[in-house]
Amino acid sequence: MLYREAGQFKTTYAADMAVFPIRQDRMALYLLLAVAFIGVPLFAQLHIWPFGGDYLIRAILVPFLILALAAIGVNILVGYCGQISLGSGAFMAIGAYSAYKFGTGVHIPLEWLGSEISIPPLPLVASILLGGLMAAFVGVLFGIPSLRIKGLYLAVATLAAQFFFDWVFLRVKWFTNYTPSGSVNAPELSFFGWIVHTSTERYLLCLAFVTIFAFLAKNLVRGNLGRQWMAIRDMDIAAELMGIRPLYAKLTAFAVSSFMVGVAGALWAFIYLGSWEPLAFSIDRSFQLLFMVIIGGLGSILGSFLGAAFILILPILLDQVPHALGIPISVETVSLLVFIITGMLICYLLIVEPHGFARLWSITKEKLRLWPYPY
Amino acid sequence: MLRTTLGLAAAALGISAIAEPAMAQNEQFLPALVYRTGPYAPNGIPFANGVADYWTLINERDGGINGVKIVFEECETGYATDKGVECYERLKGKGPTGAGYFSPLSTGITFALTEKVPGDKIPLLTMGYGRSESKDGSVFPWNFIAVGSYWTAADVAIQHVAKELGGFDKLKGKKVSLVYHDSPYGKEPIPALEARAKKDGFDFKAIPVTHPGVEQKSQWLAIRQDRPDYVLLWGWGVMNSTAIKEAAAVAYPREKMIGVWWSGAEPDVTPAGDQSTGYKALLLQHPGGKFKVHEDMDKFVISKDKSAGKDTFGQVLYNRGLINSMLGVEGIRTAQKKFGNKPMTGEQVRWGFENLELSADRIKELGFEGMLKPIKFTCQDHQGADEARVHQWDGKAWKIISDYYKADLSLLDPMVKETAAKYAAEKKITPRDCSKES
């Protein structure tokens, strides 16, 4: 009854091709954006529960947004283009370390030429975006094997990226500016003279990035490029016969995906951790991102958000339940229980709905259209 | 399906809504970031037990710190940095005055929290771990790397090697290898060891082991080929016992191995059984065993069944947990002298740490005689002590085999100063002028 598009006539081509053609969807999105951009900071300023302390914003919303952005990136590659990648952690690391290098100034001594390449420290946004670009570049390089190998074999090839970059950032001291411990600190987060340090400011910065990139991704996947990716995913030989160049389609998917994952990596390092080591972007991170995409829904931007929420927030919530209820069980039992329950829920979800949360959401929408008179 | 999902979500939200039981005003909240699961749990558990038991002792025996009861909560980090950050955010604002101080027991988490604590005004008490340069309190006002840093440890280890060889001049041309956990923790000692190698003329080689350290075959094969005169071990958790087993497999004498103080406790040697006999490790001043404080502990905590885990009672890492909590409690006590006998905020606790002085008499009074030498923090010196001993595993127990060594400050202090200055420049921090601090 509420969710029905009857009577919404589209009188222009623009309206017909809108990202969200149904009015209710648009309203919901505007409302969500208003809550995210205005509501949350306002509640935080006014100390309205649960936004009063820093906890919700700093420990849940910020990592959720960043991982959702990374999940969108992975979803473009795995969900839309069908190229399984286990190297997402590495691309996050490339984004983080390149952004760090650009943020603190790059010096490459070229001794045989008797000169050096020297770039002064760049501002925050520029270094984060350049971090993404570096990740995109490396992503294309590691995407080249995808032209010859497919499926699980490709997953193994991208695994090489993961281990290679773990090794590079541990061993090549140039990337860490020769710090004795190999751990690096994010430079000052200044954004056109505005220095980001409160939790609300950090949140808004992440939110801005995520919103822009989510819209970008949503538009990309329904355009020419996105259709090429999906054609390649569904049947690459047929796509090729139809005139889609696999080289172009696959490598653009790798580039766009790695760019977003790289930006997410830079944000994760700069905004969430503040100081990091390669372990922050280990193979576990790659798996975590892949699971987010699978549980959220392959080939869905919304699914990336839902998957990120499920994988990141559910364990944190479960972890706090016994303490909040005053049940006296030790922390080790709780953390083991969290593993067990989260694992069981993942199995259950995938059995009940193998297409993930995004599919559940579209079923809900279908049912809502008929409600309250289903036939 | 959807209904169940929604139901679950609603239940979870509802639960978090009724959280936060009201807390009495006269309570000091102290957070504990622990890891009782994962590859580092064998070492994390005894430490966490010691930390918790000392707080329980203060509550049970003294009724709190000058009448202010300690309330504490553990949060499981699994030694993962991002989980540690989440725990920190979760616990930092609890209690009437917020968290008194944090002790993450992880170099990675310490690095991440170092960036966050100045904003939240909560001190970090990192006893024997963390950034070595955070000894410089003028650049790191919120970090207290109590009792010893990795650079202290590296220096003392080399001093012990020199003593066994019969003098520093004998070090020339000798080979010393470092088998280290490939993380900030393991890499910290390298600059100090390189500096020592340059000064004493020995040949230094660093051999990394990937986290979590269960795979070390190739590293020990390299050692078998190279035959270094000494191997220093900078491991944690399962990496330590694996290293000892691998050393035995390539017949490298355990007597020639010296572990850092995080590689010298019961969980490190017992899994390797007899193979561990002869293995040596540094002591962060205190040994395992039972002292005067343990009598009180037995009376007020263990026998009343209030211990967090009595099977670890008196172990090396348990005792380290006790000292960690003791320093924290004494820091709060010092702060109370200035600010009054009430719960302290993080900022006040920081002042307390900076003005903390434990004389030999006070240490005796607290029941820690024989576990700790006098310690004194100042605005400039956030380490308070630079001495360590060496102990050896005889197959059944750890035996102290050396006297106190004092780290060579003429070598280390300039390094601390230089690295801290670099950090200050990178983060645009203006160091405090300690001559003007009261």
Q: Name the minimum distance, in Å, from the CA of A76 to any CA of chain B.
A: 25
Cβ contact A321–B15 (<8 Å): yes
Q: Is B67 left (phi over 0), alpha (psi -120 to 50) or beta?
A: left
Question: Which among A50, A325, A335 has CB closest to B76?
Answer: A335
Bridge partners of B405, per DSSP, are B388
Residue B361's φ and ψ, nearest 5 degrees, are -65, -45
Burial class (CB in 10 A: 0-12, 13-18, 19+), B336: buried
Cβ contact B15–A325 (<8 Å): yes
Does A345 or A207 have the greater pLDDT score? A207
Position of tokens 């790289």? Answer: A262
Cα torsion B201, B207, B211, B212 to 10°: value is: -90
C-alpha to C-alpha distance for B140 and B380, rounded to whole angstroms: 9
- Chain A residues with CB inside 8 Å of B86's CB? 59, 63, 316
B208 to chain A, any CB pair closer than 8 A? The answer is: yes
Assigned domain for A231 exists: yes
C-alpha to C-alpha distance for B81 and B79, rounded to whole angstroms: 6
Q: Is A324 helix (H, G, I), strand (E, B) or coil?
A: helix
Q: Name the minimum distance, in Å, from the CA of B97 to any CA of chain A.
A: 13
Q: Identify the band that residue A1 occupies on the pLDDT scale cut at 50, 70 and 90.
A: low
Q: How far is CA B184 from the centre of its chain?
A: 14
Cβ contact B12–A188 (<8 Å): no
C-alpha to C-alpha distance for B179 and B55, rounded to whole angstroms: 35
Q: How far is CA A368 from the centre of its chain?
A: 29
pLDDT at residue number A179: 84
C-alpha to C-alpha distance for B55 and B325, rounded to whole angstroms: 7
Question: Which among A104, A280, A326 has CB closest to B81?
Answer: A280
pLDDT at B234 over 90: yes
Q: Name the minimum distance, in Å, from the CA of B283 to any CA of chain A.
A: 22
Q: Name the minimum distance, in Å, from the CA of A94 to any CA of chain B.
A: 18
pLDDT at B18 over 50: no
- Chain A residues with CB inside 8 Å of B139's CB? none
Q: E strand or H helix at B55, and its extent?
A: helix B41-62
B75 to chain A, any CB pair closer than 8 A? The answer is: yes
pLDDT at residue number B1: 44
Nearest CA in chain A to B130: A181
Q: Identify the band that residue A189 occupies on the pLDDT scale cut at 50, 70 and 90.
A: confident
pLDDT at B219 over 90: yes
Q: Identify the band that residue A3 occupies on the pLDDT scale cut at 50, 70 and 90.
A: confident
pLDDT at B11 over 70: no
**Mind listing the pLDDT tens digit for each residue in A33-64?**
999 999 998 888 888 777 767 888 888 999 99
Q: Name the minimum distance, in Å, from the CA of B166 to any CA of chain A.
A: 31
Residue B405's φ and ψ, nearest 5 degrees, are -105, 140
B194 to chain A, any CB pair closer than 8 A? The answer is: no
Cβ contact A324–B190 (<8 Å): no
> How many domains, in total, are found in chain A?
1
Position of tokens 């364990």? Answer: A315
Question: Which among B2, B21, B119 has CB closest to A360?
Answer: B2
pLDDT at B22 over 50: no
pLDDT at B59 over 90: yes
Residue A178 lies in domain: 54-279
pLDDT at residue number B16: 44
Cβ contact B190–A316 (<8 Å): no
Cβ contact A276–B18 (<8 Å): no
> How many angstroms separate the first and last alpha carbons of chain A?
14
All structural domains of chain B: 25-149+288-388+417-436 (3.40.50.2300), 150-286+389-407 (3.40.50.2300)
The answer to whether the CB of A250 falls within 8 A of the CB of A81 is yes
Question: Which among A275, A280, A330 has CB closest to B114?
Answer: A275
How many other CB atoms sit within 10 Å of the CB of residue A323?
18
CB contact set of B242 (below 8 Å; sequence gap of 6+) = B213, B214, B216, B235
Cβ contact A334–B76 (<8 Å): yes
pLDDT at B19 over 50: no
Question: Which among B2, B78, B187 has CB closest to A364?
Answer: B2
B22 to chain A, any CB pair closer than 8 A? The answer is: no
The answer to whether the CB of B124 falls within 8 A of the CB of B143 is yes
pLDDT at residue number B15: 45
Flag whether the ipTM exceeds 0.90: no
Average pLDDT, rounded, for chain B = 90
Question: Which among A59, A277, A319 has CB closest to B183?
Answer: A277
pLDDT at B186 over 80: yes
Cβ contact B187–A182 (<8 Å): yes
Nearest CA in chain B to A59: B86
Q: Identify the band that residue A175 occupies on the pLDDT scale cut at 50, 70 and 90.
A: very high
What tokens appear for B146 in the block? 């109590």
Assigned domain for A315 exists: no
Between residues 298 and 327 of chain B, which touch chain A (CB distance below 8 Å)? none
What are the Cα distances from residue A324, in Å, to A329, B8, B83, B93?
11, 16, 19, 15
Number of cross-chain residue pairs from A and B with Cβ atoms under 8 Å apart: 124
B53 to chain A, any CB pair closer than 8 A? The answer is: no
Does B247 or B17 have the greater pLDDT score? B247
Question: Which among A180, A320, A330 has CB closest to B191?
Answer: A180
Residue B375's φ and ψ, nearest 5 degrees, are -135, 140
Please count the helices (runs of H) and the strands (runs of E) in chain B. Answer: 15, 14
Q: Identify the band that residue B140 occupies on the pLDDT scale cut at 50, 70 and 90.
A: very high
Q: Name the minimum distance, in Å, from the CA of B228 to any CA of chain A.
A: 22
Nearest CA in chain A to B75: A331
pLDDT at A120 over 70: yes
Question: Which among B82, B184, B187 has CB closest to A273?
Answer: B82
Assigned domain for A101 exists: yes
pLDDT at B21 over 70: no
Assigned domain for A151 exists: yes
pLDDT at A187 over 90: no
pLDDT at residue number B218: 93
What percent of chain A is predicted at pLDDT more than 70?
99
Cβ contact A183–B111 (<8 Å): yes
**Mind listing the pLDDT tens digit for each residue in B145-180?**
999 999 999 999 999 999 999 999 999 999 999 999
- Chain B residues with CB inside 8 Å of A104's CB? 426
pLDDT at B287 over 90: no
How many other CB atoms sit within 10 Å of the CB of residue B298?
16
**Mind listing the pLDDT tens digit for each residue in A212-271?**
999 999 999 999 999 999 999 999 999 999 999 999 999 999 999 999 999 999 999 999
Assigned domain for A165 exists: yes
pLDDT at A371 over 90: no
- Chain B residues with CB inside 8 Å of A188's CB? 427-428
The 8-class DSSP code of residue B293 comes to H
Average pLDDT, rounded, for chain A = 90
What percent of chain A is predicted at pLDDT more than 90?
54
How many other CB atoms sit within 10 Å of the CB of residue B345?
19
**Mind listing the pLDDT tens digit for each residue in A13-33?**
888 888 888 888 899 999 999
pLDDT at residue number B101: 96
C-alpha to C-alpha distance for B95 and B122, rounded to whole angstroms: 13
- Chain A residues with CB inside 8 Å of B5's CB? 360
Cβ contact B76–A319 (<8 Å): yes
pLDDT at B13 over 50: no
Q: Identify the band that residue B20 occupies on the pLDDT scale cut at 50, 70 and 90.
A: very low
Q: Name the minimum distance, in Å, from the CA of A201 to any CA of chain B.
A: 14
Question: Quick one: average pLDDT of B304-308?
Answer: 88
Task: Name the residue type at position B14.
Answer: G
**Mind listing the pLDDT tens digit for each residue in B312-328?**
999 999 999 999 999 99
pLDDT at residue number B24: 61
Question: Quick one: average pLDDT of B192-197?
Answer: 94
B184 to chain A, any CB pair closer than 8 A? The answer is: yes
C-alpha to C-alpha distance for A325 and A305, rounded to whole angstroms: 29
pLDDT at B10 over 60: no
Cβ contact B211–A188 (<8 Å): no
Assigned domain for A211 exists: yes
**Mind listing the pLDDT tens digit for each residue in B91-133?**
998 889 999 999 999 988 999 999 899 989 999 999 999 889 9
Nearest CA in chain A to B8: A314
Q: Identify the band that residue B438 occupies on the pLDDT scale cut at 50, 70 and 90.
A: low
Assigned domain for A126 exists: yes
Give the pairing of strands B27-34 and B387-393: unpaired
Q: Is A70 helix (H, G, I), strand (E, B) or coil?
A: helix
- Chain B residues with CB inside 8 Å of A335's CB? 36-37, 76, 78
- Chain A residues with CB inside 8 Å of B79's CB? none
* CA angle (A151, A152, A157) in 5-degree steps: 100
Position of tokens 């696999």? Answer: A246
Assigned domain for A373 exists: no
